[in-house]
Amino acid sequence: MIPKKLFIIGFALLTLVFSIAAPFFPWWRAYTSRKSDIESGTSIRVEYGLLGSITASKITNVENQSVSMSISISELNATEQDKNALQSFLYNTWCLSIAGSGFSILTFVFICLSIGEKFVFLKKYTKYLMIVTGIIFFVSSVYFASQAHVLISKLENVTPSQVYYFSGKEVRAFFGKINSLIYGPSFGWYLAITGFLLNISLSLLTIKVKE
């Protein structure tokens, strides 16, 4: 009895960590491959966060030079309409992922409370919370994957001009490669996918485990 409960709590804690972390990591990036870094001696990294921040770096080993900066979407080269559309899209994704994190916290609290006899009635609600949380992360992931490249493609330069010139017109899919640059989802997006899978797995686990 006790090991099963501890296992579920541990699984729920792991799910909680992934769910909370997802909104705070970058969701889209462009970067040079390891092979390109070695061959050219130049490493480029650009990452987009959901709150509109863009971090970029360029390290040139041959000339021993480096550039590192953080800017907002409003500083990129594009029309105000296109920048506002991208900013709104990222903020909407942020709200969805934060909602998922909130539900994940509530789920964890319910699981911990339902162990005691006083709050055992919470068990019947917990599985629904897990499913709702998983659905929220799934929706946010699909929403981001379907729209991110469309809006980023409208930027004149995807990266800060001090780092690299990468025309948005060259971004034609969620995943892709242009010359030495690879672009696609970053760590935050993968965390959201993981949050979806963990929440659904946790709901199935709690249903199968017999008290």
Q: What is the pLDDT of residues 73-101, one digit of tens each?
A: 988 888 899 999 999 999 999 999 999 99
1 has pLDDT over 60 = no
211 has pLDDT over 60 = no
CATH of the domain at 88: 1.20.140.150
59 has pLDDT over 80 = yes
Query: Quick check: pTM over 0.75?
Result: yes
Total tally of structural domains belonging to the chain: 1
Q: By mean pLDDT, which of 19-28, 68-77, 184-193 is the weakest?
A: 68-77
210 has pLDDT over 60 = no
**Are the C-beta atoms of residues 6 and 112 closer than 8 Å to each other?**
no
The per-residue pLDDT for 119 is 57
**Are the C-beta atoms of residues 94 and 23 closer than 8 Å to each other?**
yes
Residue 80 belongs to what domain range?
2-208
